[in-house]
Amino acid sequence: MSSEWRVSDIKHDVLVPRNYYKWEYPVLIRRLRVTQRAMERAMLGVSLRDRIRNVEIRRRTKVTDIAQRVAKLKWQWAGHIVRRKDGRWGPKVLEWQPRTGKRSVGRPPTRWTDDIKRVAGSRWIQAAQNRGTWNSLQKTYVQQWTSIG
């Protein structure tokens, strides 16, 4: 096993699961995609001057696009959190609404769950209780989410 493949394994096994919640914004996803493509080119020993398309490089390396991985992890995490029944804070925080109904100045206009609601509907918490329904919506969510980033 070469050192390049170990770097790829570390990225997917350690960095992505630990940090995916920070990478939701399109600018960060774009930067991660650029970095990922650079790493893939380095793995293959290919430079930009070789003019090999990204699709071909992705086919050769068989590495999942970072944006797809982040979207899939977010979907799975949301379903996991709302199905918890052990009294932890996670499900309570997802349902919480500020008293005033307004967000403070400087806060993002969208919430973490807004794009999940676009796919699963406003009753997404009830939809997540059924794993079959939830898993069937995952592909749609990942496609929609990665087209934004």
**pLDDT at residue 15, as a whole number:** 52
Q: How far is CA 70 from the centre of its chain?
A: 2
- Top mean pLDDT of 6-20, 56-70, 80-94 is at 56-70
**pTM beyond 0.75:** no
Could you tell me the CA-to-CA distances from 6 to 3, 36, 98 in Å, in that order? 5, 14, 45
Instruction: Average the pLDDT over 7-21 and give the result.
Output: 52
**pLDDT at residue 1, as a whole number:** 46
For residue 130, pLDDT beyond 80: yes
77 — pLDDT class (breaks 50, 70, 90) = very high
By the 10 Å C-beta count (0-12 exposed, 13-18 middle, 19+ buried), 83 is classed as middle
Total count of residues recorded for the chain: 149
For residue 121, pLDDT beyond 70: yes
**pLDDT at residue 111, as a whole number:** 78
Per the listing, tokens 């807004």 go with: 114
CA proximity to 36, closest of 6, 12, 71? 12
Quick: pLDDT tens for 22-75: 445 677 888 888 999 999 999 999 999 999 998 999 999 999 888 899 899 999
* d(C-alpha 2, C-alpha 8), whole Å: 10
